[in-house]
Structure 1
């Protein structure tokens, strides 16, 4: 008898990593909810029955979507994942129709409301909503999930494998069976956590011993210790520039906006300064914030900026979070776009090479033992950021869902106390930029959107020939 089909090798670890756990515990504070979102725009409405079947198949291919979180009795340590015996697609997959003018503005307003609604911690932490009623028979799909499931790179790896490459059904796909529920109690989780701590003891003893042995070369040991100790405050955000007074207010209200940028032109703009496409992306964002501050009559020289740094290795399992934090002093006071891009390039390089860049992963196994209420007291590491920005490679080929073609994919990260969260993925040659802004921080959203377009166009112009500035592409605002 042949072996049954097997699910994907994606997010199949039985318990959270320490970083996943820290994100999960952040929900103790409503301001720090770790909900990540994606809005997909389809060229037509997908067939509903096929869409339900696709979710059933996808949740068998990636059983993490059938698993709920089981925590210890004290809400400390790393939680476990276990197949939900009450898993019900009828709860997780919803359907609705726009009741107004069917505009993108109406669509995004609905998605904002869905995003601000907390996920049920007693169920697998994700929800999908098909939204019909867009002009010309088009539709949208809104997916929200908890960041503890995966980082941006892991999410794209999963979506790339779960989306179809054909509008028509593909015969012969693997059909793994539905995963069987496994009974895991809170006490089981605690026992597993304690056993892991015992297993870590030899490693911690070895690390301590290597530290003692390093004292045989005191000058070298002192130099290493000083470099690391100087790096820790920078990585932790303790020596960031002060936040902008213009962006100082925080609330529980999220506001989405979306933009399209020609990816090749953004890449060429970075190349013009021997910088990366990510540097050019950051320069566009910071340029937009510079213009917004000027037009609001509140210019500043720098703002605190945080960027995720992927520490994912080829041997790491897909799914989960494999990220560190980089800190920058966003140069909003630099008017010249070329100089701004060069400054950002050097700051990003410095952030990536900080000795303590991976400190939260290093200390994560200890921090995870703190209850959520205690961890919330350290939220200043994120609430002092005016901008957090992430750039994730997207899917470079046509993708389909239940007979509908995916035209655009707009990602939206959470607002862990920052003023603006920017996320960009590339889909078929177009850089799709999603901004989640705190409504109390960005009080003039229309002006901010205009400034962002102008800030990116300043950077895109660097890709043009000197004699013909029209050769460069321009950013387009979607909403």
Structure 2
């Protein structure tokens, strides 16, 4: 059965190009269970092949033709080939994390074929320490980053003895819940939805005026009007560089507790300070503060669970990173106040209005490269920074302990760097995805992140 693709997801399909693949990804590291032999990774790969029925989201592909009047629809792939989507790879010697990140960089720079379902998974062996890795990617038209993360996590277990666990793409039976569709309720639900949309639409002009007003006053909202030109905002190539590392969440929490900031504020301050150090090294630091676009996943916030139907529901907040501040404490205060302003702006709108205002704020990021104007006009923002919550306790897959989670995301023309983080079992994993040619020595940002966290600890008086 064909279903129309929502406007946001359609935009991701239309905006994609060879040098700007629009998929999100994830790298997971697993420690084999005690007593596992040398064939553990191969056995894991073969087990993930043994799937008879698939979740619908992993079977659907985009389609448009004359019969659809040019509109994109999701249809089920009638020639689905799991061997195309699930791959088995091995690292070259010496099998360091460096070789793993290089492989993920190359895989992440390759577009997904639109004539097939828009996902791939790569089971990777060859790490010198015996760990196994799983790299996955799903098109942004299929799911947003938060939904992708939760969808892949949904097959993990906190029980180290659990076995015969299904692959993420295997169909899983679900109990009927109160949220399931009831035909008797459809007319009432439809009426409520229609009334809600009408009320949201009536409030859109006011929301637009408020958003523009906040942008003109250089206050945080869904629209930024004061982002400077930087080397981050040039055209890009398809080549990717991926850098990853994690830090104890307790270090960020201690800084936040001492300063009255949130963990997310501290995370953004780490990124702002690291970018300041990086741009100073390249003699490319602008006089005014960089602006980060921070996505807010509305579906995930409301439902709190993985979506098996896909789609995107993203709001945005534009945050001043304080890169014009030399003092790390002052930079953290700037970010904290900027986030408070952004949250207040979102709090005054309904979810539908948030989506509409966020689309307006994101429009220049899509239209500028389409018109070939990157580098000639001010960017709508300088960098994308996302924070995706993950499991709080250790997770296992068929006895293998998950020991690391690192997101890979989407650089775009005019936006050469994307920083995405995810929390997991007391750690905060940073995934930095950038254009290999536009941003030299991207891995140095990892050193700067550590230096900046240490500087924030010193400024906050915590050890």
With the shorter chain as reference, the TM-score category is 0.7 to 0.9
Match of 1:389 in 2: 385
Match of 2:180 in 1: none
3-state SS of paired residue (1:69):
strand
C-alpha deviation, 1:68, in angstroms: 1.5
Give the TM-score normalised by the residue count of structure 1: 0.75
3-state SS of paired residue (2:129):
helix
C-alpha deviation, 1:39, in angstroms: 0.9
Match of 1:274 in 2: 260
In 1, are the aligned partners of 2:225 and 2:380 still within 8 Å (CA)?
Answer: no
In 2, are the aligned partners of 1:46 and 1:401 still within 8 Å (CA)?
Answer: no
Is 1:88–2:81 an aligned residue pair?
yes
How far apart in 2 are the matches of 1:382 and 1:55? Answer: 48
How far apart in 2 are the matches of 1:254 and 1:375? Answer: 18
From 439, 443, 456, the equivalent of 1:459 is 456
From 90, 97, 100, the equivalent of 1:104 is 97
How far apart in 2 are the matches of 1:325 and 1:351? Answer: 9
Match of 2:9 in 1: 20
In 2, are the aligned partners of 1:240 and 1:328 still within 8 Å (CA)?
Answer: no
In structure 2, stretches of 5+ residues that fail to align are 33-38, 173-190
In 1, are the aligned partners of 2:112 and 2:118 still within 8 Å (CA)?
Answer: yes
Query: Which stretch has the larger CA shift, 242-251 or 318-327?
Result: 242-251
In 1, are the aligned partners of 2:124 and 2:133 still within 8 Å (CA)?
Answer: yes
Over residues 296-322 of structure 1, what are the superposed CA-to-partner deviations in whole Å (9 max), with x where a residue is unaligned?
333333123211123235359824322
How far apart in 2 are the matches of 1:324 and 1:382? Answer: 22
C-alpha deviation, 1:156, in angstroms: 2.8
Match of 1:424 in 2: 421
In 2, are the aligned partners of 1:98 and 1:106 still within 8 Å (CA)?
Answer: yes
Match of 1:196 in 2: none
Is 1:362–2:356 an aligned residue pair?
yes
Match of 1:227 in 2: 210
How far apart in 1 are the matches of 2:168 and 2:409? Answer: 32
Query: Which stretch has the larger CA shift, 264-273 or 309-318?
Result: 309-318
Could you say which structure has the larger radius of gyration?
Answer: 1
Match of 2:331 in 1: 340
In 2, are the aligned partners of 1:47 and 1:402 still within 8 Å (CA)?
Answer: no
C-alpha deviation, 1:142, in angstroms: 0.9
In 2, are the aligned partners of 1:243 and 1:385 still within 8 Å (CA)?
Answer: no
In structure 1, stretches of 5+ residues that fail to align are 1-11, 180-198, 215-220, 466-470, 472-479
In 2, are the aligned partners of 1:26 and 1:375 still within 8 Å (CA)?
Answer: no
In 1, are the aligned partners of 2:26 and 2:405 still within 8 Å (CA)?
Answer: yes
Query: Which stretch has the larger CA shift, 263-272 or 291-300?
Result: 291-300
Over residues 117-151 of structure 1, what are the superposed CA-to-partner deviations in whole Å (9 max), with x where a residue is unaligned?
11010111111111111013222111111112222
How far apart in 2 are the matches of 1:76 and 1:348? Answer: 43
3-state SS of paired residue (1:261):
strand
In 2, are the aligned partners of 1:47 and 1:403 still within 8 Å (CA)?
Answer: no
C-alpha deviation, 1:91, in angstroms: 0.9
From 302, 307, 311, the equivalent of 2:298 is 311
Give the TM-score normalised by the residue count of structure 2: 0.77
In 2, are the aligned partners of 1:246 and 1:298 still within 8 Å (CA)?
Answer: no
Say if 1:92 and 1:375 are closer, same or farther in 2 by CA, change over 3 A: same
In 2, are the aligned partners of 1:40 and 1:408 still within 8 Å (CA)?
Answer: yes
Over residues 361-404 of structure 1, what are the superposed CA-to-partner deviations in whole Å (9 max), with x where a residue is unaligned?
3389999xxxx999934996996533210001111222223442
Q: Over aligned residues, Cα RMSD in angstroms?
A: 4.1
